[in-house]
Chain A
Amino acid sequence: MPFDRIRLSSFRNLEDAEVLTQADRVFLIGENGQGKTNFLEALYYLSYGNSFRGSVDAEAPRRGSAAFSLLGEVRAPGSADMPHESIRVSYESRIKEIKRNEKPVRDRKELVELNPAVVFCHEDFSFAAGEPERRRFFFDQSAGLVSAAYIDNLREYKRILRQRNSALKETRHDLLPFLDMQIAGKGIELMDERSRLLAEFDGRFALSFEAVSLLGAEVRIRYRPSWPSDLGIEGILERLGSRRNEEFALGTSLSGPHRDRWNFTSEGTDFAATASTGQLRLLSLTLRMVQAEYYTTATGRLPVLLLDDVLLELDRGKRKRFLDLLPPSGQSFFTFLPGESWEDYQTGSTLVYEVRNGRFED
């Protein structure tokens, strides 16, 4: 749902202010370090209750302050005369409080269902060329955007994993068989859901990536579960049992969905190993495009898109094709450096702000 108004207080370097955002596209133009990304981070906080930069809440208050507060007014679904919904995220005395229409939100997954944002940012590069954990994060996030049950299952799996790792560290031979049964059962559920996600993602991704990159070779997503998908619960239990001594020695679980791999292949080989930096950058952008598209297909709703300097690294042709293929959104926020031809990207209603020293000027 689109944001109509954001109220900022003590957040990063942004000046305390109320910023009107009632437009299809909002452009933030400014030099580096002026606060453009901080504003997108504020929107992300209002969408998910945390930062997309992987930073902790304690880093978000303005220097010299220990607290921050953000208030977003979002357009409620339905008729135009429906009253706005409000989302408030405040942080004080190391306690974060999230409220929707002034009522406490007990679980952040409630926010995900209300107002998800899809962020395109520099850190996404790691989806293409970073550690496997980053790709697992991306695909888990994609599944969680459309299914709160997936978030619940993943949390439960991680809880079992922590219990199992603790039992391994304490060499609790007596408890491992039971934790094996639990981790195998929950693991199979996660693997099934990830396989279904792959089926939804792969075709869309291959088409979109080719349409923007014009590479001429098909790039596909490959999901390699740590446990072969046809193993079944008995086979998994057997496999876990066969590595028992190794796991006791290392004090950690060596297999399971927490070790699943996602990668990208072209003509049967690992695409990331041979791709150029530009191609990898484009790959990560395409993943975000497909994430937004998948969300809309699965839920029938439009996400808010946050695009942080993403056009900067694309040549003119790719930039145009990327924007042409950008899935429909409830609202889009773009950041630009001064001198970029942002005028070319205006559509419908566009609001333009210059951002200077954390201050927003029309």
Chain B
Amino acid sequence: MKALDELVGLLTRLPGIGRKSALRVAYYILKTDSSFSEALADRIRGLKGAICFCSSCGAYSESDPCPVCSSPSRDRAVICAVEQPQDVVTIEASREYRGLYHVLGGLISPLDGIGPEDLKIRELVGRAGNGEVTEVVVATNPTVEGDTTALYLKRLLESTGVAVTRLATGIPVGGDLEYADRLTLARSFRGRTKL
């Protein structure tokens, strides 16, 4: 069945979807009410038109600038640098952070041919040097590439005079030591704090 095969082929290109999952999704769409599949197709078609990048921070938004950048209640002295736009959504969900964001658009990785010039680093340095910013929080993942990017940003931002901090790594809140992986546990020990 050509139509089904083509849909499955496209679905398997989505992250986290293998052939079996793609088949399940395709069969579900096939058997469900056509109003559902039409609504789904409409939303997919309209997504790119409805969502844009914030020209200031690079986050996904329905308006430009985004609600965070245009909000008068946000702390403009702090910028949190993240790897990708969806990280903004994750951090926002915590309701802990009240500053601004800056999406780098990736991480430095020579293996993948990604250097600082491929990321929104120049823009970050520009924002950090506007006289208003006092701290840049680097919220890259604790991976080799995340560490390289963090070290690079620290060195670059030193000239602007702003404080550069990094998210702490360790045992998740409410987590159980028993279930923590060893690398996380080892990092937690190294980063232990005084009571």
Q: Which residues of A contact B (CB under 8 A)?
A: 148-149, 152, 156, 159-160, 162-164, 166-167, 170, 172, 174-175, 177-179, 181-182
Contacts and interface: CB of A to CB of B under 8 A. Distances in A.
Interface string B122-150: 00000000000000000000001101100
Nearest to A180: B151
Contacts of B111: 162-163, 166
Nearest to A181: B151
Nearest to A151: B182
19 contacts: A149-B183, A163-B110, A163-B111, A163-B144, A163-B148, A166-B111, A167-B110, A170-B110, A170-B113, A172-B110, A172-B115, A175-B108, A177-B155, A178-B108, A178-B148, A178-B155, A182-B144, A182-B147, A182-B148
Interface in B156-195: 182-183, 185-186
Interface residues of B, number: 18
A152 B182 contact: yes
Contact of B144 (A149, A156, A174): A156
Contacts, number: 48
Nearest to B182: A149
Given A164-B110, A175-B148, 20 more contacts: A152-B183, A156-B183, A159-B144, A160-B144, A162-B111, A163-B110, A163-B111, A163-B144, A163-B145, A163-B148, A166-B110, A166-B111, A170-B110, A174-B115, A174-B116, A175-B115, A175-B116, A177-B155, A179-B110, A179-B148
A196 to B, nearest CB: 15
Nearest to B113: A170
B142 to A, nearest CB: 10
Nearest to A179: B148
Nearest to A186: B144
B180 to A, nearest CB: 12
A160 B111 CA distance: 10
Contacts of A166: 110-111
Contacts of A149: 182-183, 185-186
Nearest to A166: B110
Nearest to B149: A178
List the 5 closest A-B pairs by CB distance, nearest first.
A166-B110, A178-B151, A167-B110, A149-B182, A152-B183
